[in-house]
Amino acid sequence: MEWLPEPYRPDHLSGAALVFACATPEVNDRVAADAKARGVWVNAASDPAAGNIVLPAVVRRGGLTLAVNTGGASPALARRIREKLEAEFDESFAEWVALLDEVRAEVLAAVHDPTRRRELLDGFADWPWLERLRAEGPDAVRAAMRATLP
């Protein structure tokens, strides 16, 4: 990344693969139009529709990623929703996703009937397993899940 304290010129886009237009709406419109004309990905802060990429508000819990986007209508609302999701989806979701990944491989190897496989995997992704994980820990839940396998 390079900081250039000078007025925007189209040649600033030379060699760029991704551009963030974060100046005045007028400058952002010019940057977005120039970037799109050059085939460069652009995010326009003042008018998301003028760009061709948007940035969601993101919550990550291990292998779980939750993204919220309002299409530029209200970044503040997207942030508030993200904050709510952060509170709702605590770190135990990271443990649950990791455990589901581990057990999934075992189910696929041990259960040959597709209907039974689907039932097991769907069941392990149900909320009572999360509550059990929170109460008993991952080792106990892993053992209980494995106990259902042939």
Q: What are phi and psi of 64, to 5 degrees?
A: -95, 125
Q: What is the pLDDT of residue 88?
A: 95
Q: What is the pLDDT of residue 14?
A: 94
Per-residue pLDDT of the chain (150 residues; tens, 9 = 90+): 677 789 999 999 999 999 999 999 999 999 999 999 999 999 998 888 899 998 899 999 999 999 999 887 888 999 999 999 999 999 999 999 999 999 999 999 999 999 999 999 999 999 999 999 999 999 999 999 999 998
**Cα–chain center distance at 92:** 17
Q: What is the pLDDT of residue 5?
A: 84
Paired tokens of 5: 């304290």
Q: What are phi and psi of 68, to 5 degrees?
A: -125, 135
Paired tokens of 38: 């050059």
Give 38's DSSP letter: T
Q: How far apart are CA 95 and CA 146, in angstroms?
A: 16
